[in-house]
Chain A
Amino acid sequence: MKKAYPGIFLFLVAFFASGIALASEVQQRVTDPVTEKRLHAIAGELRCLVCQNETIAASNADLARDLRREIRARIASGQSDREILDFLTTRYGDFVRYRPPLNPVTLFLWFGPLFFLLAGGVILRRYLKHRQRVLQAAPPLSVEERRAAEALLAAPPDAGNPS
């Protein structure tokens, strides 16, 4: 029983510390709703580099918090959304943007799926044409074949089914 105390203590410290850290950001947040709206729009476009599947707007990572502070400061100093995005892209690369800009490196990323869709369409079309040709070129059924087919079709449903 005694052994659990340090763990609980650490947990409580971490728990309340995180509350304090959040509170300080909440305080900044209520000051200016317009800034916060822009911040949210910009940060929602950006990938958090520590937890890569979260946006900087959503992430609670330390770095994401710092980057939000940086964006806030830049909004306050009158920079445009574009300038702020450019600032972060020159530091962290296209990778930070969830919608990376179109350039030679990202060409495949943007148009790869479209390429595969078109290629699939072309292959399907060729296959169907080929199939139709094969079917048309096939000789018509002989009399015996027709009779055998009709017999099969007329048979009761489970007659030909070995079960």
Chain B
Amino acid sequence: MPRNKYVWLLVAFAAFMVLLAVGLGLDAREIPSPLIDKPAPEFSLPRLDAPEGKVETFGPGDMRGKVWLLNVWATWCVACRQEHPMLMEMRQKKILPIIGLNYKDVRGDAAIDASKMTVEQEAALVRARANRWLAGQGNPYALSVLDMDGRVSIDYGVYGVPETYLIDKTGVIRFKQIGPITPETLRQELLPLIEALNR
């Protein structure tokens, strides 16, 4: 049978095209986190809900034995608004506790020059802004902590807001969502995983 000997060239070309097509479909902004299946980095950050003049801190260790979400947010973050109804829904359905990590609320806002503020002034402004935002939009968080200079977020490999980490009972990160949680990720990925981890 006279088989065309150049058929394999065509096959190689087709394979290359498939490779490129797959590459086109990938989102280069979504960088897989190396922290998946690793212990969530420890931190101790001031709580947003602490009464004025008092410092109360929170760390991931406080959540031992619970499956919980760590959600990175900021009042200047537009995509956080988009994600907000999903978080509210999770809170209302009591799916799991959500801890908010408020990321550079003042320093990250290009409209504010924080370089001349004292840390106290900045903290007061962050609290005022964050509380106003939560009062206006609704508060989906069991509590929020303040990462004013973003160092804890660097520890978590945060490079854009919002980002969300699902952490299991032993304090291990099991899932990371980069960008807003969509109804699809909630239904198809988060909910089954949460159920499995709670078992």
Instruction: Give A contacts to B, CB under 8 Å.
Output: 13-14, 17, 20-21, 24, 49-50, 52, 62-63, 66-67, 70, 89-95
Contacts and interface: CB of A to CB of B under 8 A. Distances in A.
Contact of B157 (A50, A52, A70, A91): A91
Contact of A67 (B31, B38, B154): B154
A24 B155 CA distance: 23
Interface in B115-154: 115, 149-151, 154
B150 A66 contact: yes
Contacts of B150: 63, 66
10 contacts: A13-B111, A17-B111, A49-B31, A63-B159, A66-B149, A66-B154, A70-B151, A90-B38, A91-B154, A93-B34
Interface string B153-179: 011110110000000000000000000
B196 interface: no
B110 A17 contact: yes
Contacts of A63: 150, 159
A149 B66 CA distance: 90
Interface string B44-69: 00000000000000000000000000
Contacts of A17: 110-111, 113
A92 B157 contact: yes
A44 to B, nearest CB: 19
A10 B154 CA distance: 30
Interface residues of B, number: 23
Contact of A91 (B28, B110, B111, B155): B155
The 6 closest A-B pairs by CB, nearest first: A49-B159, A91-B157, A93-B34, A95-B31, A92-B157, A17-B113
A92 B31 contact: yes
Contact of B34 (A49, A66, A70, A90): A90
Contacts of B2: none
Interface in B31-45: 31-35, 38
A63 to B, nearest CB: 6
Given A50-B159, A52-B28, A70-B154, A20 B113 contact: yes
Contacts of A95: 31-32
A126 to B, nearest CB: 12
A67 B151 CA distance: 9
B154 A93 contact: no
B154 A89 contact: no
A67 B157 CA distance: 11
Contact of B32 (A49, A70, A93): A93
Contacts of B97: none
B108 interface: yes
A93 B156 CA distance: 11
Given A66-B150, A93-B34, 14 more contacts: A14-B110, A17-B110, A17-B111, A20-B113, A20-B115, A49-B31, A50-B159, A50-B160, A66-B149, A90-B35, A91-B155, A92-B34, A92-B157, A93-B33
Contacts of B110: 14, 17
Given A52-B28, A67-B154, A91 B35 contact: yes
A95 B149 CA distance: 24
B31 A91 contact: no
A17 B116 CA distance: 11
B34 A89 contact: yes
